[in-house]
Amino acid sequence: MAAEFDTSHVKNIVLLGHAGAGKTTLAECFLYEAGLISRRGSIGEKNTTGDYHELEQERGNSIFSKLMHTRWRGYKINIIDTPGYDDFVGEVLSALRVADTGIMLLNAAMGVEVSTDVIWQYTEKFKTPMIFAVNHLDHDKADFENTVREAKQHFGNNVTVIQYPLEQGEGFHSIIDVLRMTMYVFKDVGGKPEKMPVPAEEKERADQLHKELVEAVAGNDETLMEKYFEKGELDEDEIKEGMKKAMINHDLFPLFCLSAARNMGSGRLMGFIDNVCPGAHEMPAQVSVNGETIYCDAEKPVCAFVFKAISEPHVGELSFLKVYSGTLKAGSDLTNETTGVTEKLNQLFVMEGNKRINVSELSAGDIGATLKLKNTHVNNTLHEKSVNYALAPIEFPPPNMSIAVRTVKKGEEEKLSAALHQLREEDPTLIVKVSSELKQTIIHCQGDMHLSVIKWKLQNQHKVDVLFEAPRIPYRETIRTAAEAVYRHKKQSGGAGQFGEVHMRIEPWYEGIPEPAGLNVRGRDTHELPWGGKLVFYNCIVGGAIDLRFLPSILKGVMEKMQEGPLTGSYVRDIRVAVFDGRMHPVDSNDISFKIAGLMAFKNAFQQAAPQLLEPIYMLDVLCPEAITGAVMGDLQSRRALVEGIDAERNFTRIIAKVPLAEMNDYSSSLRSLTQGRARFSMQFHEYAVVPFEIQRKLTEQYSKTAKEELVG
């Protein structure tokens, strides 16, 4: 079927908010109000259009973003429902990248929650026009005034009340709209309300809020400000036009009232989206990475951006895209600007959750899907051959959690590798690395909930049983004192033998260290080690005791041993090595002899130089509600954390601490348990620091025991 809606009649909204705010339930209301579904599904009955995935139905919350669409008074409205937990932030970012308006749901019983604050940072980055919707006003602990107060504290005074409830709690059934100066009275079953005048006892409050709205709108538009001064008022159309401009500029955020569970207020919100919220063609034009302006115009060359990919048995393999320019038609050949490959888009779809509906074309501004493109990935731009557009990619946040994964059954390693590759294609916040250092396959993800989804997909979709275990810690080894060693390698086995003798001094290296005392320095090489730190290698040989041609072999032996330190088999760093004497044989000396002699001399000297184990220290940033700061602090102290700072941020506390990576394996699940999911954290590598003596002794003993067992085995 052809595109039903042209560019000027397509709007794209994204539903945002903390888990439990009611996003999926509101999406059901929108679909029901528009007549696309005859009965509203519910989370409890596991029959919503959005949360169709069996894992979501099992858990009772959204995990993946879902694309739906509805028709309302001549407009097509694309709706993207997003998950509310930080672990699935990639789904939120992908949706925000292509949405033209965001609806941030606030739970009237909880106020502004941590995830809401986090999501807001991304909306400011994208400059997404935003609506606030206070939901759950029928909850017995609903507090509209406090929720609005917190919203203004967190997001600024640009949060502007459009509606307020006449009553809250179980008796909630009336909303006063200060834009239209009308009261909407709902039946207990919700649906279409009765429109009534504002009650006399509410007139003063409603008038004051109406005045604040008009002043907020006029304050962002000089023309409207002049009209306001002339007339002392703005009519509804002038207010709407001013609101649209202010929303596009991120200068005004209208706030509405809802009970999504009882379908109260959703129709009015749909009407506002329809006649006030900007369409894609009214938003600032996209600019390519090369500075070219890409206008949202159906007559221009086609340019589309892939923002999401899925592969599910009941949905299929799909690439989701937004058409930023031109009219995309089924059967089109488009060039992938990143790979240079030409892709044929055989079919196009609009989505209803897990249902796909064939269409023949998508106009500029619209969002849809096509069959999975083999050589096109998330963040790729597709365009006609006549242009070379490349849109800026979505920047996904770094992971917060790492875990090692291996197969239960031997011989399924390739199957696991293929499955992880597929999951990575669908989820850009998942990073998979095969670590030669740790001898493990490491999954880097956003948290324990993210990990549980990965495990479910591996076992249920890819049919590979896996075990997760704590990743080995990438310790480093160094020394505290200087030491010298002599090693002679001598081997005779018929024919040519092997001979090499090396005299070596090793010392701890640090910036500004003076030249080696008592040695004649003939040459110096500084090597930046791939794993961090330095090796500084000195030639201090006099009298030709060792030919210069053997020095690279000695260095090679030292470097080889530095890749497996004697304490725990970890990489060695920050060492100064001086070769100052030795012996060679005119016939038997060769490169292998001096490599072995250098390796063994370094090993022996290292063991005499007070070897020291270093551990990775991360800078931890925790944002949690004030009331539970003490519990979070207590948990951090049990993890050997050093708190660097505590700052109040509105009703939250930000804790900055240095913490050893070895203590952070279960932190995601522990923090979620401590705070009922109301806190978030991020980690970034900071430095390597000395491991406490007792811990070093245990780790060294454990390594020695394992090495002996492997030798016996």
Q: Is 55 exposed, middle or buried (0-12, 13-18, 19+ CB in 10 A)?
A: middle
Residues 426-454 have a mean pLDDT of 93
Q: 606 is written with which tokens? A: 């290292």
Residues 492-504 have a mean pLDDT of 86
Terminal Cα-to-Cα distance of the chain (whole angstroms): 68
Q: How far is CA 250 from CA 123, 199, 247, 486, in A?
A: 10, 33, 5, 71
| pLDDT at 3 > cutoff 60 | no
The rounded distance, in Å, linking the Cα atoms of 474 and 615 is: 7
Band (675; pLDDT cuts 50, 70, 90) = confident
Domains and CATH numbers, the chain: 7-194+254-282 (3.40.50.300), 286-383 (2.40.30.10), 401-469 (3.30.70.870), 477-609 (3.30.230.10), 613-694 (3.30.70.240)
| pLDDT at 562 > cutoff 50 | yes
- DSSP assignments along 182-251, one per residue: EEEE--TT-SSPEEEPPPGGGHHHHHHHHHHHHHHHHTT-HHHHHHHHHHS---HHHHHHHHHHHHHTT-
Q: Is 249 exposed, middle or buried (0-12, 13-18, 19+ CB in 10 A)?
A: middle
| pLDDT at 233 > cutoff 90 | no
Residue in the structure block whose two tokens are 């504002």: 198
| pLDDT at 454 > cutoff 70 | yes
323: β partners? 304
Residues 43-59 have a mean pLDDT of 71
pLDDT at residue 6 in the model = 77
pLDDT at residue 161 in the model = 97
pLDDT digit string (tens) for 126-168? 999 999 999 999 999 999 999 999 999 989 999 999 999 999 9
Q: Is the dihedral of CA 654, 658, 662, 663 positive or negative?
A: negative
pLDDT digit string (tens) for 466-488? 999 999 999 999 999 999 999 99
Percent of the chain with pLDDT over 70: 97
Band (2; pLDDT cuts 50, 70, 90) = very low
The rounded distance, in Å, linking the Cα atoms of 290 and 611 is: 52
Residues 194-223 have a mean pLDDT of 92
649: β partners? 652
Q: In what order do the strands lie in the sheet with 440-445?
A: 431-435, 440-445, 401-407, 466-469
pLDDT at residue 678 in the model = 79
- pTM for the full predicted model: 0.86
Asked if 67 and 80 touch (Cβ cutoff 8 Å), the reply is: yes
pLDDT digit string (tens) for 259-273? 999 999 999 999 999
pLDDT at residue 669 in the model = 86
| pLDDT at 409 > cutoff 90 | yes
Residue in the structure block whose two tokens are 């890819």: 462
The rounded distance, in Å, linking the Cα atoms of 225 and 39 is: 45
- What's the whole-number average pLDDT of the chain? 91
The rounded distance, in Å, linking the Cα atoms of 518 and 484 is: 13
The rounded distance, in Å, linking the Cα atoms of 22 and 104 is: 10
579: β partners? 504, 539
What's 434's DSSP letter?
A: E
pLDDT digit string (tens) for 5-43? 778 889 999 999 998 899 999 999 888 888 777 677 777
Asked if 145 and 255 touch (Cβ cutoff 8 Å), the reply is: no
Within 10 angstroms of residue 697's Cβ, the number of other Cβ atoms is 12
User: Angle at CA 676, nearest 5°, toward 141 and 624?
Assistant: 95
The one-letter amino acid at 97: R
Q: In what order do the strands lie in the sheet with 575-583?
A: 483-491, 498-508, 575-583, 534-539, 523-528
pLDDT at residue 4 in the model = 65
The rounded distance, in Å, linking the Cα atoms of 704 and 682 is: 35
342: β partners? 335
Q: 383 is written with which tokens? A: 């365009």
Within 10 angstroms of residue 516's Cβ, the number of other Cβ atoms is 19
Residue in the structure block whose two tokens are 């993800």: 445
Asked if 86 and 117 touch (Cβ cutoff 8 Å), the reply is: no
Residues 282-297 have a mean pLDDT of 94
Pair type for strands 66-72 and 440-445: unpaired
pLDDT at residue 228 in the model = 78
pLDDT at residue 1 in the model = 42
pLDDT at residue 140 in the model = 95
pLDDT digit string (tens) for 160-174? 999 999 999 999 999
428 or 64: which carries more pLDDT confidence?
428
Q: 492 is written with which tokens? A: 């005779």
φ and ψ of 240, to 5 deg: -60, -45
Please tell me the total number of residues recorded for the chain in this structure: 713
